[in-house]
Structure 1
Amino acid sequence: MYVNYETFEDADRHAHALSGWDQRYDQVGEGVFRSTVKQVSAGGVQVFQESANVRVVQRGQLPPGRATFGLALSGGAPFSFQGVKVDQSALIFSDGAEEFLLHTPPHMSLLGIAVDTDLLESLADVQGFDFPRDAHAQQVLSIPAAAGARVGRRIVEAVEAALARPLEHVGPDAERRFANTVTESILELLMFHVPDREDRLTHACRSEIVQRSHELVLSRPEQPVSVMDLCVALRVSRRTIQNSFQSVTQMNPVAYLRAVRLAQVRRLLIATSQQEVPVREAAMRWGFSNLGHFASDYKSHFGELPSQTLRAR
């Protein structure tokens, strides 16, 4: 995994810092240039979050062999990609090795994502997702602003976690989780451009999918199960997973699976003393590696902090 965070006072130095990209940046806005670049590359996926305080024109060639995406996080005005307006209700999607021209506004923040084409298509196939092969021809795809903001936050959180705790993201399993998080997020936005399939599953079939998902979580206590993991293990699409959970539990699968793990932690805390199993160890046993996030989720779910749960004597 490659992880890097830099600040710049020159637009060209900023452009050259992006690994694998052939491009140049021209500062066209007035003022002293200030920018940051945060990069993470792992498992066939590269993500960078860049920000700059003045207007810039970016031009060059996209990385070959990769599908490239752009998601605007903020800006003093809309972006412009290949002459098309880009705001938070739009997703840039281009094929590899294409020439590009991007105008970025002042006070901008942008997510750039490059995914190996084979990886993107294979993960889409695993999910039963009809990959829109001609979507990149449109270059700028319309998406719901709320969905774009949600996906943007999720990817930014993954990047920040890798920057803050790089040692926890070393190794093939950690790289795969990072790559899956990013790729699933992009596929979530592309799904708005795929026609709905008729879902003829009975309620009993959907209940079985939820039950088997629940059992999979219990069988892998130290490894949080992702939606992608469910798709692979149960051999069903992401949409089938989501529809099944919504129908049976009225919850999305991520929230449900997290709740299952939280319940196991609470059961363990109640059954043991602090001396036997400290809160941190109980959380780690069920895949909660960030104690701060765990405590917040626990309180939100049970109405008390884990330290306030009555322990065995």
Structure 2
Amino acid sequence: MYANYQTFEDADRHAHALTGWEQRYDQVGEGAFRSTVKQVSVAGVQVFQESANVRIVQRGQLPAGCVTFGLVLSGGAPYSFQGIKVDENALVVAPGDKEFLLHSPPNMSLLGVAIDAKLLESAADAAGVDVQDEVLRRHVLNIPGAAGARAGKRIIAAVETVLAAPDSLSSDDDVAHRFTQAVTESMLDLLTFHVPSYEDRLTYACRADIVRRAHDLVLTRPEQPISVLDVCEKLRVSRRTVQNSFQSVTQMNPVSYLRAVRLAQVRRLLTTTAQGELPVREAAMRWGFSNLGHFASDYKSLFGELPSQTFRAR
């Protein structure tokens, strides 16, 4: 496990800094090379956020035993992966141990993710997502821009959280677990747009009703967080149906959506009460957030500010 943030003035040094990758970067654009790399790696999951100011060509071998993903964060022009155009509405995906060729435009910013294939399969099974090999071999998948931006934001927030306290990776197993969960769930959310739908013949109205009823379940049990399994049991539907319903209606996975609903209730409490009347800790506990550190991190990711920074009633 490791986490680091580095800057470079040479393309090859940048390429060699990505642990576990056999590759080289050729600078083909004019100008003094400047780049940054933020990396976090835990058991089975590696994430790197890289940027460079000039056009480069990346080529080499994808990590063996992993499924590799790429999300465009920014760039002066479209990317090209394996001869296929890649823009902000696309997800790069490829099985491991394959040769790759990526053309990156000037002022590029890219999020790379490598997930152990068995870990991804296990997470997909748990989430009820039927990820087929044919999907993983397409190289580039079209995705809704908003969904891609949301997944990128969530993963970047997870990376920044770890980089703020890198020692926590080895000292706190929960930190590594939360990081792995955030990354795998984000990628599965995007793959869901390409999961065959023949097993789920519900109309959009039926899916919307499942989301509405799950939302209501959260509101009726404020101190006891609702899990996806709870939703399945209460609504008498399969996990896959729940997953597909949320993806279709909200473009979010059910876990993220249900957590966001609880966070929204905490924020409403904070904005309608004074600090002396209701401390942040008590407001969080009322909606089932027992770990204040995780609560504060999730709250900031959703609302862009810590709960202590939220405007309180006077």
Structure 2 length-normalised TM: 0.77
In structure 1, the residue matched to 2:262 is 260
Letter in 1 for 2:239: S
Aligned 1:152-231 pairs, distance under 5 A: 152-167=152-167, 169=169, 170-196=171-197, 197-199=200-202, 218-219=223-224, 230=228
User: Structure 1 pair 268/238, CA: closer, same or farther in 2 (3 Å)?
Assistant: farther
Instruction: Give me the whole-angstrom Cα distance separating, in 1, the residues matched to 2:258 and 2:71.
Output: 28
User: Structure 1 pair 193/207, CA: closer, same or farther in 2 (3 Å)?
Assistant: closer
- Superposition deviation, residue 292 in structure 1: 8.4
Note the aligned Cα RMSD (angstroms).
Answer: 4.0
Letter in 2 for 1:182: V
Letter in 1 for 2:180: A
Q: Structure 1 stretch 110-119 or stretch 39-48: which is displaced more?
A: 39-48
Aligned 1:23-42 pairs, distance under 5 A: 23-42=23-42
Aligned 1:1-313 pairs, distance under 5 A: 1-167=1-167, 169=169, 170-196=171-197, 197-199=200-202, 218-219=223-224, 230=228, 234=232, 236-237=238-239, 239-241=241-243, 243=245, 254-261=256-263, 263=265, 274=276, 278-279=279-280, 283=284, 286-289=290-293, 291=296, 294=299, 308-309=312-313
Counterpart secondary structure, 1:134: helix
Unaligned runs of 5+ in 1: none
Aligned residues: 297
CA contact (8 A) 1:210 1:245 kept: no
User: Structure 1 pair 244/258, CA: closer, same or farther in 2 (3 Å)?
Assistant: closer
Q: Percent identity?
A: 48
Q: Structure 1 stretch 194-203 or stretch 109-118: which is displaced more?
A: 194-203
Instruction: Give me the whole-angstrom Cα distance separating, in 2, the residues matched to 1:296 and 1:44.
Output: 24
User: Structure 1 pair 92/132, CA: closer, same or farther in 2 (3 Å)?
Assistant: same
CA contact (8 A) 2:214 2:231 kept: no
Instruction: Give me the whole-angstrom Cα distance separating, in 2, the residues matched to 1:58 and 1:25.
Output: 5
- Superposition deviation, residue 120 in structure 1: 0.7
Counterpart secondary structure, 2:133: coil
CA deviation profile, 1:137-183 (whole Å, cap 9, x unmatched):
22111222222222222212221222123355553222122111111
CA deviation profile, 1:177-216 (whole Å, cap 9, x unmatched):
2111111111111112112222498999877755666688
CA deviation profile, 1:251-294 (whole Å, cap 9, x unmatched):
9763443343554687799999849x843575485445365874
Letter in 2 for 1:18: L
Counterpart secondary structure, 1:141: strand
Counterpart secondary structure, 2:40: strand
Counterpart secondary structure, 1:308: coil
Instruction: Give me the whole-angstrom Cα distance separating, in 2, the residues matched to 1:30 and 1:152.
Output: 29
